[in-house]
Amino acid sequence: MTMPRTRPFAQVDVFATSPYSGNPVAVVLDGTDLGDEEMQGLARWTNLSETTFVLPPTTPEADYRLRIFTPQGELPFAGHPTLGSARAWLDGGGTPRHAERVVQECAVGLVAVRRGADTLAFAAPPRVREGALDDELLRRIVAAFGVERERVVDHQWVDNGPGWAVLRLATAEEVLALEPDFAGFPDAMVGAIGAHPDGHRHRFELRTFAPGAGVPEDPACGSMNAGVGQWLTSTGGAPSSYRVSQGTRLGRAASIEITADADGTVWVSGSAVVCVRGTVTL
């Protein structure tokens, strides 16, 4: 264990449509010399869905390396921490090699973060697992959601590292009505998505649940939106550009925009605002 010292720290609100309505991420801007236990200990203490640690990159293509922890363990990739950490790094004086984008190194490889006027967008990494869920897993998720199998319009692995699987229901109303019980399924990393009525400013409502990672419900999930975006835009289940609302049942108001380029690259974009600046002793 290293001797404690003061390190720069930030907390960033990601995907918010108004102040403090998105998903916060805690960012330690200098994770040098910290061990796994120290990182995990802080993540458990912040009790946010993710806490990240910025480190020097190990490849010249990257601007920095990022480690991402939930209260229960480390993730190879996560979306809202990617955008929030990029914002905190830029806010703290970080200078990217390329003016238009930041390149993050993490366990899944290099992730490009595109800089917009008021938003940031990350390029969805490749899925490590895709395809329909097997019957037994689907049965368990349906039981945990407390819905009838006939209400499931479609289902898919959308795993880009964390382990996500998703069910598609017919309507956003059905998604918002879910009261999941994961008592018999504690390792779940699952989501549910349903369409809003025509004319709504968001096309879909998404809810994501990760009780096995210490996050019963996530207010806004970039990695799940990335995998779902790749699935839906590549199969005709959604247009090449659409917006998703998330966090409604938690009293949040997150907005995530999905855009698929002509080459199939899916970008996940939204706001990322530094709300807390200071130091942490580790």
Residue 178 in domain: yes
Residues 228 and 174 grouped into a single domain = yes
Residues 157 and 237 grouped into a single domain = yes
Residues 183 and 227 grouped into a single domain = yes
| Token pair listed for 119 | 């938003």
| Token pair listed for 105 | 């190194």
Residue 262 in domain: no
Phi, psi of 45 (to 5 degrees): -75, -45
Fill in the DSSP letter of residue 241: E
Q: What is the pLDDT along the chain (282 residues), one digit of tens a residue?
A: 568 999 999 999 999 999 999 999 999 999 999 999 999 999 999 999 999 999 999 999 999 999 999 999 999 999 999 999 999 999 999 999 999 999 999 999 999 999 998 899 999 999 999 999 999 999 999 999 999 999 999 999 999 999 999 999 999 999 999 999 998 787 889 999 999 999 999 999 999 999 989 999 999 999 999 999 999 999 999 999 999 999 999 999 999 999 999 999 999 999 999 999 999 999
Residue 257 bridge partners (DSSP): 243, 269
Element (H, E) at 12: strand 6-14
| Token pair listed for 130 | 């895709």
Residue 152 in domain: yes
Phi, psi of 156 (to 5 degrees): -165, 145
Find the largest Cα–Cα distance for the chain. 57
Q: Which domain holds residue 15?
A: 6-126+270-281
**pTM of the predicted model as reported, rounded to 2 decimal places:** 0.96
Phi, psi of 184 (to 5 degrees): -95, 10
Residue 254 in domain: no
What is the model's pLDDT at position 177? 98
| Residue 50 annotated to the active site | yes
For residue 50, count CB atoms less than 10 angstroms from its CB and return exposed for 0-12, middle for 13-18, buried for 19 or more: buried
- How far is 244 from 22, CA to CA, in rounded Å? 13
Please identify which of the residues 37, 38, 50, 100 carries the catalytic annotation. Answer: 50
CATH assignment of the domain containing 34: 3.10.310.10
Residues 10 and 106 grouped into a single domain = yes
What is the model's pLDDT at position 2? 65
| Token pair listed for 168 | 């598609």
Select from 192, 187, 253, 181 the least CA-distant residue to 214.
Answer: 187
Strands (E), 72-214: 74-75, 101-106, 109-115, 120-123, 129-131, 152-159, 165-171, 190-195, 204-210
Distances (CA, A) of 61 to 51, 88, 105, 263, 266: 24, 20, 9, 22, 21
